[in-house]
Amino acid sequence: MSERIDGADRYSRVDLDDGGEALAREVAEGTRGLHQLPRELDPLMAAAVRRRAMELRAERAGATLSLEHIGSFSLDAQRASTQHCENFAGVAQVPLGLVGPLRVLGEHEQGDVVVPLATTEGALLASVNRGCRAIQAAGGARVRVEDVGMTRAPAFRTSGLEEVGRLLEWVESHFDRMREHAGKTSRFLDLQEVRPKVLGTTVFLRFRFLTGDAMGMNMATIACDRLVSELIEPETGVQCVALSGNYCVDKKPAAVNFELGRGKRIWAEVELPREVLERILKTRSEMLVEVQLRKNLHGSIAAGAMGYNAQFANVLAALFVATGQDLAHVVEGAMGLTHFEQRSDGAVYASVYLPDAPVAAVGGGTGLDTQRESLQLLGIRPDAENPGRAARRLAEIVGATVLAGELSLMSAFTSRDLARAHERLGRGPSERP
């Protein structure tokens, strides 16, 4: 039985009239920009014009191009084109699968969840699913989350140390006033801290905000802009040269985020009995501990890496695509640490630590149709009367899923199963030599 979602496969429903064809020709010829379509044009029609323009460009070059699959989708084109993606032309689809059940023993999530992961990497879901089975057999993963908050750090130009001192004195003595002023931009935003950093004549002020269930980057940016333009610059005379001075630090691996945290700090742990290690993961505790030492610690140190783990990024990227998180934040979440240690009777204690995991239950891509469904699958439903709880619950699920991925991949290294799994699951028939 096939189920059709109302509005799906919209490509076949959009036929360009003579006016649409004329617009497409103008775009293809370069006399009209991709962003210069009439404002009154329906977003579905505008997307069709852009796709047709690219097909015409290919024809002019003697090539054949069809964008049929890019143009087949069920999401809300109006929302996508006005809130998420300029010059909207269609979608890029990523296969989505399910892993679990995964027992999460956190403060906000206490029970079994089935986790959606979207990826193009064969063998990833099979591996994470095996890790979920191991955690389930051991009774579940204990998870703790700290809401550090979102940061934004404007950079200011000063004339020298004397002006630096005056600026820092002003910031310290006006914290309560800045907190009140920032709070006017959103009832869900609360300024927690302003941390200064001085380099030469440049002063960075790292503002840290709690932002409820939102990831909060836009909220923090808007609040900082108001603080800078309405308080700091007028009252100190010091000029802001960049609203983001790279001391935030956003979408880059950075020691300051590893040390101070950003978004959510996540800890997840489980103790696996010997029987579970041997039956499900096909390994032993002493083998896991050695691979952890030589790969995740020695290898990362030798490489100068900031991630002491096996594959945080794999799991985070798949979860982020599925649930509508900001994909560029994978680079921050990948900085964490995996830890194994032997326990009595052949058991192993395993844990992961993610110091910098910006996640959201509202805002951004979480409102897209498929991403919203994935969040609903996880039971993530924001409550305006309890802001932040849904995002912390999602972070607990993130931590447990990352732990499952680490357990399975590290075990695959000990049993030499990694290459065999990718050869069996990660290659299609046409890719086999």
Give the tens place of pLDDT for each residue, 130-152: 999 999 999 999 999 999 999 99
CA distance 360 to 150: 11
At 268-323, the pLDDT tens digits run 999 999 999 999 999 999 999 999 999 999 999 999 999 999 999 999 999 999 99
Catalytic annotation present for 329? no
41: its two tokens: 């044009």
Rg (CA), the chain: 25
Q: CB atoms < 10 A from the CB of 184, how many? A: 11
Which of these is catalytic: 121, 163, 341, 369? 121
153: its two tokens: 């750090």
301: its two tokens: 């140190």
Q: Is the pLDDT assigned to residue 405 strictly greater than 60?
A: yes
Which of these is catalytic: 84, 174, 339, 422? 422
Question: Alpha carbon of 2 to those of 5, 94, 98, 228, 238: distances in Å?
Answer: 10, 20, 20, 56, 64
CA distance 374 to 387: 20
Residues 6+ apart with CB under 8 A from 356: 257, 258, 261, 262, 263, 265, 332, 333, 335, 336
CA distance 380 to 371: 11
Where in the chain are the domains? 18-84, 96-148+253-427, 154-242
Burial class (CB in 10 A: 0-12, 13-18, 19+), 225: middle
What is the SS3 assignment for 192? strand
CA dihedral 183, 189, 191, 192 (to 10 degrees): 150
Catalytic annotation present for 121? yes
- Percent of residues, the chain, with pLDDT higher than 90: 91
Which of these is catalytic: 326, 332, 396, 406? 326
Q: What is the pTM of this model?
A: 0.93
Catalytic annotation present for 422? yes
| Among candidate residues 90, 84, 411, the one with its CA nearest the CA of residue 272 | 411
CATH of segment(s) 96-148+253-427: 3.90.770.10
Confidence of residue 15 (pLDDT cuts 50, 70, 90): confident
Question: Which CATH architecture best describes the domain 154-242?
Answer: 2-Layer Sandwich (3.30)
At 155-200, the pLDDT tens digits run 999 999 999 999 999 999 999 999 999 999 999 999 999 999 999 9
Q: What value does the mean pLDDT take over residues 400-407?
A: 99
